[in-house]
């Protein structure tokens, strides 16, 4: 329903002013070379007048800077329509949280919501109104660099965390919150061969069952914007795809907010081969319902013929303008274009102790203990430790999409460890991709003096995120050579891996007594890791994505279909040639979805399953026999029911993170919602399972116990 103010503005605005609202410009149009540019630049022929009718800008922040630009802009705006400031605030503004894939490992919606709330507060006091987040693309291919920005391979986990993130960013859109832009619609996370910007081709059945749920959850959580994706889907580029944006997004999901293209995605319709020129590209995107053109200048083409637009184009421009003005109104910009932004508020908020503590807390929940032979971890304070590796003493722990974060202000793992362990020494051993003998020999000599070796390995944040697809997902050979040399010293090795993607850690696992996955852990990641290694915090992270034995297995994910010739996990698997398997690799992953160890000894036992209305409630007992408390994630999977379309061998349908005190039992109830007990038939109609349903309960996706119930769905 268009408000009175928006209706009135629409009547007063000229066609040029309406078209202006549809343009988003990059920061350099307003602040020259200091701008943050996050996409390819294209030639454009905009007049200064156009710049001052543009509806929004991306990549500018800072209380004073935004205030100055807004004041200057409003002074030139005939109808005083405020400029909208947008940017990529993905996992923190100046206080950087773990990358989203790391936060997903917390399996804690409250942690994800907290991270988004802090990011929103810091962004809002710095003058931002909209974040291009959360990215909720489902991803099953670690070769694709943007896997770091996702929450992994599972539709249900992605949906729960998408809602948590939107709730955290938006709150009630007061001046401490910002509008969320869910992206990238749709299925950008499924590029063929994991190659960035490559073709996506999914059946609509699979898209709707597995890729659509998380976008749908974000929209149900009232995300104010949706961003188009660069890829094709169902044979049509998303940015021109009316079935995707009109039928599915606008009609089925009833999305009333603003659709913004990704950077130059409208212009790229020419490369895709569906538009012959920029004007045709503009017409297709406008017809698909794209409201804002981010940096392709296609919509600027309408300015040249503003007086002669046909009625349908004029109508589409009015609809888009109305949605943009409603967004500005929902942010309170017509009442206060500055949203109470002052340098004092900004100063008090940015990287406050409270915010940094929140980042540390979330990082502690995100770190995953993947191996701990002979309980070598946690480490005693007085042990002689050698910290070796290219990632041991660097601030490059923030990960991609942390443009406002400062690596130089980020404590390194060595800095944090030295505060807790008085006898820790350090040597780099090698660079990320380089070995030199002096550095290498120095590291071995340092390691010889120690009782235990902590190898800190991984990739720089520059090899993670957009435009960083890789064909080889092992650690660089130089680092593996260093690890092999360290292993020859015959001392126990604890390997810490800093990464934005699942890697092939097979050799690391072979050579290490313990393996700790730190992700890119953020501003306080080093302190969080130190607390985990020292036992001050008991690790509770679980994998939101499968870690393969080799890249040849990719895509590999837990919720696969059984096939007609599955393995039986008996002797037959070896003897029978004609099974769905490889002759040179196992089918199983190195580390499965949902896996993560604890210093405690916790076991899960399903107690009962009862139907409550259309939901199912599962009572589970957890027992911790260890002398220390621990958090864990109880996971409930629906085992492959019989249906008219194939169903995953197992599918996550409920989970809960629980603290189990030492030497105690706790009982909890997991509720499986009715919508998790449905499936899509071959005609794309939603059906409900009937009859006996089997649930698998456990602390990861592989080690589970079954409980069944006859489900009545009448």
Query: Shortest approach of ligand GLC to residue 214 CB, angstroms?
Result: 15
Strands in 553-601 per DSSP E: none
**Active-site annotation holds for 201:** no
* Residue closer to ligand GLC (CB basis): 209 or 262: 262
- Which residues, 52 to 91, sit near ligand GLC by CB under 6 A? 58, 88
Q: What angle do CA 620, 622, 623 make, to 5 degrees?
A: 150
* Residue closer to ligand GLC (CB basis): 21 or 228: 228
- 178 contacts 169 by C-beta, under 8 angstroms: yes
Q: Which two tokens stand for residue 240?
A: 């021109």
Q: Which of 88, 137, 167, 262 is catalytic?
A: 262
Query: Shortest approach of ligand GLC to residue 39 CB, angstroms?
Result: 4
> CB under 8 Å to 526, separation ≥6 — which residues?
397, 410, 411, 412, 413, 415, 416, 417
Residue 262 found at the interface with ligand GLC (CB under 6 A): yes
Give the containing element (helix H, strand E) for 294: strand 293-294
Query: Shortest approach of ligand GLC to residue 607 CB, angstroms?
Result: 44
> CB under 8 Å to 137, separation ≥6 — which residues?
146, 149, 150, 183, 184, 186, 187, 188, 189, 190, 211, 214, 229
Inter-CA distances, 59 with 27, 87, 228, 384, 548, Å: 5, 5, 18, 46, 36
Query: Shortest approach of ligand GLC to residue 274 CB, angstroms?
Result: 19
CA–CA gap between residue 241 and residue 210 (Å, rounded): 19
- 151 contacts 162 by C-beta, under 8 angstroms: yes
Query: Shortest approach of ligand GLC to residue 149 CB, angstroms?
Result: 8
Residue 137 found at the interface with ligand GLC (CB under 6 A): no
Residue 93 found at the interface with ligand GLC (CB under 6 A): no
* Residue closer to ligand GLC (CB basis): 143 or 549: 143
- What does the DSSP 8-state code read for residue 171? T
CA–CA gap between residue 131 and residue 281 (Å, rounded): 26
User: Closest Cα partner for 233 from 177, 172, 274?
Assistant: 274
Strands 232-233 and 225-228: unpaired
Q: Which two tokens stand for residue 93?
A: 């503004």
Inter-CA distances, 188 with 131, 139, 227, Å: 18, 9, 11
Inter-CA distances, 12 with 7, 70, 309, 355, Å: 9, 21, 18, 44
Between the two ends of the chain, the Cα-to-Cα distance in Å is 37
Instruction: Give the residue, chosen from 15, 21, 24, 38, that forms a contact with ligand GLC under the rule CB under 6 A.
Output: 38
Can you name the residues that pair with 698 across neighbouring β-strands? 635, 704
Question: What does the buried/exposed string (b/e) look like for 609-637 if buried means 16 or more CB atoms within 10 Å of the residue's CB?
Answer: bebeebebbbbbbbebebeebbbbbbbbb
User: Closest Cα partner for 99 from 465, 408, 636?
Assistant: 465
CA–CA gap between residue 634 and residue 622 (Å, rounded): 9
- Residue listed under structure tokens 């059984």: 562
Can you name the residues that pair with 610 across neighbouring β-strands? 617
Query: Shortest approach of ligand GLC to residue 262 CB, angstroms?
Result: 5
At 309 the three-state DSSP class reads: coil
Q: What angle do CA 642, 648, 654 make, to 5 degrees?
A: 100
CA–CA gap between residue 622 and residue 600 (Å, rounded): 12
Residue 321 found at the interface with ligand GLC (CB under 6 A): no
Inter-CA distances, 631 with 161, 537, 656, Å: 19, 10, 10
Instruction: Give the residue, chosen from 2, 3, 5, 39, that forms a contact with ligand GLC under the rule CB under 6 A.
Output: 39
- How many residues bind ligand GLC (CB under 6 A)? The answer is 9
Q: Which two tokens stand for residue 500?
A: 């934005």
Can you name the residues that pair with 373 across neighbouring β-strands? none
Query: Shortest approach of ligand GLC to residue 211 CB, angstroms?
Result: 17
Instruction: Give the residue, chosen from 263, 421, 637, 679, that forms a contact with ligand GLC under the rule CB under 6 A.
Output: 263
Residue 35 found at the interface with ligand GLC (CB under 6 A): no
* Residue closer to ligand GLC (CB basis): 296 or 428: 296
* Residue closer to ligand GLC (CB basis): 38 or 150: 38
Instruction: Give the residue, chosen from 153, 466, 478, 504, that forms a contact with ligand GLC under the rule CB under 6 A.
Output: 466
Q: What angle do CA 539, 543, 544 make, to 5 degrees?
A: 130
Q: 525-534 and 353-366 helices cross at what angle (nearest 10)?
A: 50
For 602-659, the three-class secondary structure string (H helix, E strand, C coil) is EEEEEEEEEEECCEEEEEEEEEECCCCCEEEEEEEEEECCCCCCCCECEEEEEEEEEE
Residue 132 found at the interface with ligand GLC (CB under 6 A): yes
Would you state the torsion angle of the CA atoms of residues 3, 253, 156, 589, taken in this order, to the nearest 10 degrees? Answer: -120
Q: 10 Å Cβ neighbour count for 272? A: 18
Residue 183 found at the interface with ligand GLC (CB under 6 A): yes
**Which parts of this chain interact with ligand GLC (CB under 6 A)?**
38-39, 58, 88, 132, 183, 262-263, 466
What amino acid positions are annotated as catalytic residues?
A: 262
């Amino acid at each position: 329903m268009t408000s009175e103010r928006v209706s009135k503005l629409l009547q007063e605005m000229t066609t040029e002013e309406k078209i202006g609202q549809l343009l988003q410009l990059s920061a350099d149009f307003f602040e020259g070379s200091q701008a943050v540019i996050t996409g390819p630049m294209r030639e454009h022929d905009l007049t200064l007048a156009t710049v001052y009718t543009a509806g929004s800008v991306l990549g500018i922040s800072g209380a004073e800077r935004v205030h100055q630009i807004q004041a200057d802009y409003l002074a030139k705006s005939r109808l005083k329509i405020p400029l909208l400031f947008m940017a990529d605030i993905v996992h923190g503004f100046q206080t950087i949280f773990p990358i989203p894939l790391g936060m997903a490992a917390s399996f804690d919606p409250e942690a994800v919501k907290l991270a988004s709330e802090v990011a929103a507060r810091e962004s809002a006091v710095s003058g931002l109104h909209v974040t291009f987040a959360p990215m909720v693309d489902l991803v099953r291919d670690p070769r694709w660099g943007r896997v770091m920005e996702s929450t992994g391979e599972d539709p249900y986990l992605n949906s729960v965390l998408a809602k948590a993130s939107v709730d955290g960013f938006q709150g009630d859109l007061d001046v401490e919150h910002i509008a969320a832009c869910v992206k990238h619609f749709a299925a950008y996370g499924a590029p063929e061969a994991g190659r960035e910007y490559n073709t996506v081709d999914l059946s609509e059945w699979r898209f709707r069952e597995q890729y659509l749920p998380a976008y749908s959850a974000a929209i149900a959580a009232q995300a104010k914007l949706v961003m188009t994706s660069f890829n094709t889907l169902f044979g049509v580029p998303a940015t021109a795809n009316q079935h995707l944006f009109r039928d599915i997004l606008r009609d089925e999901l009833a999305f009333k907010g603003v659709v913004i293209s990704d950077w130059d995605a409208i212009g790229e319709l020419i490369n895709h081969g569906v538009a012959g020129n920029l004007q045709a590209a503009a017409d297709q995107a406008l017809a698909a319902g794209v409201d804002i053109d981010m940096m392709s200048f296609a919509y600027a083409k309408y300015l040249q013929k503003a007086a002669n637009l046909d009625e349908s184009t004029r109508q589409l421009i009015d609809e888009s303008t109305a949605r943009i003005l409603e967004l500005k109104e929902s942010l309170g910009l017509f009442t206060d274009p500055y949203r109470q932004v002052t340098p004092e508020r900004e100063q008090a908020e940015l990287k406050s102790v409270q915010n940094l503590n929140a980042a540390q807390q979330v990082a502690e929940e995100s770190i995953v203990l993947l191996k701990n032979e002979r309980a070598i971890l946690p480490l005693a304070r007085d042990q002689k430790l050698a910290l070796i590796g290219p990632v041991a003493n660097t601030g490059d722990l923030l990960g991609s999409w942390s443009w406002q974060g400062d690596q130089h202000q980020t404590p390194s793992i060595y800095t944090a460890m030295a505060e807790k362990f008085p006898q820790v020494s350090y040597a780099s051993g090698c660079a990320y991709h380089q070995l030199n003998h002096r550095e290498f020999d120095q590291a071995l000599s340092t390691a010889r003096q120690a009782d235990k070796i902590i190898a800190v390995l991984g990739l720089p944040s520059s090899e993670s995120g957009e435009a960083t697809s890789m064909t080889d997902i092992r650690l660089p050979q130089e680092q593996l050579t260093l690890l092999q040399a360290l292993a020859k010293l015959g001392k126990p090795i604890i390997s810490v891996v800093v990464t934005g993607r699942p890697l092939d850690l097979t050799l690391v696992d072979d050579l290490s007594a313990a393996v700790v996955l730190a992700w890119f852990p953020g501003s306080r990641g080093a302190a969080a890791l130190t607390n985990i290694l020292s036992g001050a915090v008991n690790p509770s992270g679980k994998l939101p994505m499968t870690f393969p034995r080799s890249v040849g297995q990719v895509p590999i994910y837990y919720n696969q279909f059984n096939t007609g010739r599955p393995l039986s996990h008996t002797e037959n698997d070896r003897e029978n040639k004609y099974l769905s398997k490889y002759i040179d690799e196992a089918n199983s992953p190195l580390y499965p979805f949902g896996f993560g160890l604890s210093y405690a000894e916790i076991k899960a036992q399903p107690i009962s399953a009862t139907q409550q209305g259309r939901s199912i409630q599962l009572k589970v007992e957890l027992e911790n026999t260890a002398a220390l408390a621990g958090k864990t994630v109880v996971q409930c999977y629906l085992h492959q029911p019989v249906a008219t379309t194939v169903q995953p061998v197992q599918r996550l349908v409920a989970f809960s993170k629980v603290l189990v005190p030492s030497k105690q039992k706790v009982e909890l109830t997991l509720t499986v919602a009715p919508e998790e007990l449905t499936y899509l038939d071959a005609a794309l109609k939603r059906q409900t399972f009937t009859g006996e349903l089997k649930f698998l309960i456990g602390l990861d996706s592989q080690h589970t116990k079954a409980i069944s119930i006859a489900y009545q769905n009448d």
